[in-house]
Amino acid sequence: MLIRQAPDIRSSEITDEKLYLNRRRFIQAASAGALAFSVPVGEAEAQKPKGPFDTDEELTPYDDVTTYNNFVEFGPDKSDPSENARSLRIKPWTVRVEGEVKRPENYNLEDLVKPYKLEDRIYRLRCVEAWSMVIPWLGFPLGELIKRLEPTSKAKYIEFTTLHAPDQMPGQRSSMLPWPYVEGLRLDEAMHPLTILAVGLYGKPLPNQNGAPLRLVVPWKYGFKSVKSIVRMRFVEKQPRNTWAIQAPNEYGFYANVNPEVDHPRWSQSRERRIGDFFRRKTLMFNGYADRVSDLYRNLDLRKNF
């Protein structure tokens, strides 16, 4: 269940790499999702990491990124989201911005995203849990959007909420988690340039199972912080409660910074399996982004604030 046979992964890796690297023309993605953007992914661009945070590690194949998912709204198993997420309707899509902010409004997704030149915005980032992947996200820094929305001086945190639509999300018809899924960030974490809102991956609009049409990506935190299919962003004074901390407060906290030195109550967090690899590797502090983000937590006991 957790890993497939190594040879299978290898062959799919080769196919996907080829597909990706040979995509020389502009991808007209308008018909595939809610967003009408076109992204040139040429051979050179694909091979050369160029963003300030890009890793040069091997990308996880597209097929794995889009079939090994956690999205409990579509079922508890890693294969469920890719099988069940077709029922999600992402057009039209509205994001409600509210709370301690000067420009509260219901934003049409296209309007929210329009100012960002997405063709310049490919982020090759690691994400981690018990398994890990390297994904070329397409998106923009959340901080740029926050500046545009102008939070008031009272805003200390942002709460993000996923769509609640049991007719489209079969998992929401059961009580596996308290719905809708909610996550939060401290404002300075949200403003950090490594925190991005993703609208695509591998040069294409996000597949539904990966959180279409808009999701968070916070690469130095465990995967559950990266909330999918966002319909609301609320600027608040107090630390929001987040779904997994509500569900299992002794196992999951608010911060969820990747910390190999602190065990989860039921398992070690010191190693991870990179999808496609046979052996586990050491998990790095802050998922390898410590030099970029550890300053955010100077005054925080990371053992207590997990």
Q: Which residues bind ligand MTE (CB under 6 A)?
A: 69-73, 129, 162, 181, 210-211, 223-224, 226-229
Other CB atoms within 10 Å distance of the CB of residue 111? 12
Distance set, CA 199 to CA 37, 125, 157, 237, 279 (Å): 10, 15, 22, 28, 32
- Determine, following the binding rule CB under 5 A, whether residue 200 of this chain makes contact with Mo ion: no
Residue 262 phi/psi, 5-degree rounding, is -110, 120
198 burial via Cβ count (<10 Å: 0-12, 13-18, 19+): buried
Using the rule CB under 5 A, which residue among 33, 200, 205, 223 binds Mo ion?
223
Task: Give the whole-angstrom CA distance, residue 168 versus residue 194.
Answer: 31
Using the rule CB under 5 A, which residue among 17, 57, 119, 129 binds Mo ion?
129
Stretch of residues binding Mo ion (CB under 5 A), selected from 62-70, 175-183, 226-234, 272-280: 62-70
Alpha carbon 196 to chain centroid, angstroms = 8
| Residue 148: both structure tokens together | 């545009």
CB of residue 43 to ligand MTE, shortest distance in Å: 26
CB of residue 287 to ligand MTE, shortest distance in Å: 12
CB of residue 251 to ligand MTE, shortest distance in Å: 12
Nearer to Mo ion, 203 or 223 (CB): 223
- Determine, following the binding rule CB under 5 A, whether residue 273 of this chain makes contact with Mo ion: no
Question: By the 8 A CB rule, do 201 and 138 touch?
Answer: yes
Q: Which residue has the tokens 């996200």?
A: 137
Nearer to ligand MTE, 151 or 257 (CB): 257
Whether a cis peptide bond, with omega within 30° of 0, leads into 180 is yes
- Determine, following the binding rule CB under 5 A, whether residue 224 of this chain makes contact with Mo ion: yes
Residue nearest to Mo ion (CB): 223
Stretch of residues binding Mo ion (CB under 5 A), selected from 77-85, 173-181, 216-224, 254-262: 216-224
Using the rule CB under 5 A, which residue among 70, 108, 239, 294 binds Mo ion?
70
Query: What is the SS3 assignment for 226?
Result: coil
* Contacts with Mo ion, residue ranges (CB under 5 A): 70, 129, 223-224
